[in-house]
Amino acid sequence: MAAGEQIDTAAKIERCAKVCGEVVYTATTALNAYFKGEWTPPVWQPSEDIEHCIGCHGPKSKAYRARRWNQQGHMECMMCHEDHD
């Protein structure tokens, strides 16, 4: 819709099919590597702008383990929150 295409246009159908094919290819490639023992999960590294946020609000903080409601994604904190460092 953002591209201005109706859902039933040929261009939209072709684009959706290509996206589905790319997802299947990527998942299959990762699974094949996993079963060969060659796959390692990607490691997320927070940006410099939010690195100090993750120390208190990330998955290894004591507050996270105690309350289970802290940051769980890989988004940039400053998109929604002001810095309080």
pLDDT tens digits, 41-61: 877 788 888 888 877 777 676
Using the predicted structure, report yes or no on whether residue 12 has a pLDDT greater than 90.
Answer: no
Distance between CA atoms of 79 and 76, rounded to whole angstroms? 6
Its pTM stands at 0.45
Cα 39 from Cα 32, distance rounded (Å): 8
**Pair 46, 53: CB distance under 8 Å:** yes
- pLDDT level of residue 79 (50, 70, 90 thresholds): confident
